[in-house]
Chains A and B, each alone.
Chain A
């Protein structure tokens, strides 16, 4: 049992001092416990857990809060009571020896008693006072003081004395729990609620559809804010737990860390990274669309990352799941063996919804996983109505998110037409919703997967074909052609066709390349011949120029010769 529950006996100034009950969940609802130093009435029908409730109050007081208690029973003998709570691990005998608890069984037998005139209950006062003083008790339980009404005839005296008793207890500054049997139209058979004005808690036990639910409601709590709803509570081997164990607010931390879905191509649809850590994911789809496989792959991936996971199976046994998943290349057994994966399988009809919720709570608290899968939540409908399942899931999601646990639910949608708002009405609660649907065409059924929503991230709006292979799960792009969405063999045909196209195209490209090469060759040879032509022309020009020079020189020489010859004459 969680003992983390509030320990704020010294409440903030201004608010009523409270005495923690140590009962998981109750102290959260009441904001710290029941009023300190005052009487609290706990009423309810037979077998609703009043006595257990009050025993837990004194035992927790003695063991956890250092407040010894007196348990005065008007119904059961001390030994019987002690025997009843042995299964909860409470050793009342030892507590009595340690002076932490004082049990007193008050026996009133109508047939033995003769009333001969005026009397009072001083005997009870002395007895109780002596018990309180002998161990310095801070807590007192009177279970069920109403039995006095059947033992004593004079109602007038009794009522006056009870009023005096409660006042006296207040004066003693002990926190008292008085239990009372539920009456017709009143909270208690003898109207004890008239005397106890500080705090009244009503316990109820209802059976609907052959499944019982225990409910707790705070009818009245003077001077404090308290939850007013009916809270389901459970009695099991750890005692009483009131739900919700978690906070009632929406204040949990968020993170932008991601966890992989275990299917790389699905992660790609989610910005390539996967889901947010601590988010809730709903996978819904019709029968046989591979919801369990998605959940198993998610858990498998988490375990590969050395994260702890719990798989709550409500449909198949663990062995069945392990065997089936092996066929698609997911070996869950290794994770079970290495202690990373835990299976919690139960039939939904085993318990009421609340019991399921509590068993989830307990498993999570015990094992502290980072990833949880519930497969499928739709089966829980068999034990509760839609709204009950929804309220349970709200609380579950709330609880898991507060612990930063990523949860994946699978849900079976019964109708083939996708109804966007059903699915247990949880679609609005979850952070991500993956929908797997059948696409039936060309005489075959294929699975189409799309992400309906994923809060806080860009996600693909594409329908992908979801294929389950021997190597695991994969998502394939579907083909959108003139005939619509192509999946399965139609998609493969399209793929082949495209491949042919690619080969042809390649061939065409090669031909063009060669032509260009040829053209270039031609062009280059042309350039070479032109170049040669130019060089020969240049040579020609050079020759003419040289001849011209030579002629000029020769002529010059000749003229000089002529001149010289004339002078010689």
Chain B
């Protein structure tokens, strides 16, 4: 039996301790892409400084990724780690939603 309290401890431990593995898919230098990169970097620096790795991929350069990564809408941010995997689309201007999507609780700050 796992106690509920323990489970939540584990989760928060994970979120606080582990490194976020992020991949951002963009399309060249489109307005949305530039905004998304800027917004995301700002959020990461503000909330999880030093605890993330961000890979920015230009889909135009690697078109085959579109199919293998199930890309439809861009810009797309995939949170590879920690689990569960999440997909965020848009220019990341809605900070609250980005944080929710990444599983970063604002209360801990």
Contact = CB atoms under 8 A, between A and B. Distances in A.
A108 B72 CA distance: 8
A115 B27 contact: no
B63 A116 contact: no
A124 B72 CA distance: 4
Nearest to A157: B73
Given A108-B72, A116-B101, A119-B73, A126 B90 contact: no
A127 B67 contact: yes
A113 interface: yes
B59 A123 contact: yes
Contact of B72 (A116, A118, A130, A148): A148
B93 A121 contact: no
B54 interface: no
Nearest to B68: A127
Contact of A114 (B32, B60, B66, B86): B86
Given A113-B87, A126-B27, A120 B32 contact: yes
A152 interface: yes
Contacts of B63: 126-127, 129-130
A119 B60 contact: no
Contact of A118 (B70, B86, B93, B101): B93
Contacts of A131: 67
Given A116-B101, A118-B32, A118-B35, A123 B91 contact: no
A106 interface: yes
B86 A116 contact: no
Interface in B56-109: 59-60, 63-64, 66-67, 70-77, 85-94, 97-98, 100-101
Contacts of B66: 123, 126-127, 130
B30 interface: yes
Size bracket, chain B contacts: 35 or more
Interface in B31-63: 32, 35-36, 39, 59-60, 63
B73 A123 contact: yes
A119 B91 contact: yes
A122 B90 contact: no
A119 B32 contact: yes
Interface string A15-29: 000000000000000
Contacts of A122: 27, 30, 59, 73-74
A114 B101 contact: yes
A540 interface: no
Given A127-B71, A131-B67, A117 B94 contact: yes
What's the dominant secondary structure at chain A's contact region? Answer: mixed
Nearest to B32: A118
B20 interface: no
A131 B66 CA distance: 10
Contacts of B101: 114, 116
Interface in A80-127: 104, 106-108, 112-124, 126-127
Interface in A122-180: 122-124, 126-127, 129-131, 148, 151-152
Given A106-B70, A108-B72, A126-B66, A119 B27 contact: no
A116 B73 contact: no
What's the dominant secondary structure at chain B's contact region? Answer: mixed
A148 B72 CA distance: 9
A181 B53 CA distance: 42
B80 to A, nearest CB: 13
Nearest to B98: A116
B33 to A, nearest CB: 9
A79 to B, nearest CB: 15
A139 to B, nearest CB: 18
Contacts of A130: 63-64, 66-67
A127 B62 CA distance: 10
A126 B60 contact: yes
Contacts of B100: 114
Contacts of B73: 113, 119-124, 152
A106 B72 contact: yes
Contact of A116 (B59, B70, B91): B91
Contact of B90 (A116, A124, A129, A151): A116
Given A126-B63, A130-B63, A115 B71 contact: no
Contacts of A152: 72-73, 89
B93 A123 contact: no
Given A122-B30, A123-B74, A116 B67 contact: no
A117 B90 contact: yes
Contacts of A126: 27, 59-60, 63, 66, 71
Contacts of A108: 72
B60 A115 contact: no
A151 B67 CA distance: 17
Contacts of B64: 130
A114 B94 CA distance: 10
A113 B67 contact: no
Contacts of B35: 117-118
Contacts of A116: 77, 88-94, 97-98, 101
Contacts of A121: 72-74
A103 to B, nearest CB: 10
A452 to B, nearest CB: 68
A120 B25 CA distance: 12
Contacts of A113: 73, 87-89
Nearest to B101: A114
B97 A123 contact: no
B87 A119 contact: no
A114 B97 contact: yes
17 contacts: A108-B72, A112-B85, A113-B73, A113-B89, A115-B90, A115-B97, A116-B77, A116-B92, A116-B97, A116-B101, A118-B32, A119-B73, A120-B73, A121-B72, A123-B73, A126-B27, A127-B63
Given A123-B66, A127-B72, 8 more contacts: A104-B67, A116-B101, A117-B39, A118-B32, A120-B30, A122-B73, A123-B59, A126-B59
Interface of A: 104, 106-108, 112-124, 126-127, 129-131, 148, 151-152
A-B pairs with lowest CB-CB distance, top 10:
A117-B90, A123-B71, A127-B66, A117-B93, A114-B101, A116-B90, A130-B63, A117-B91, A119-B90, A122-B74
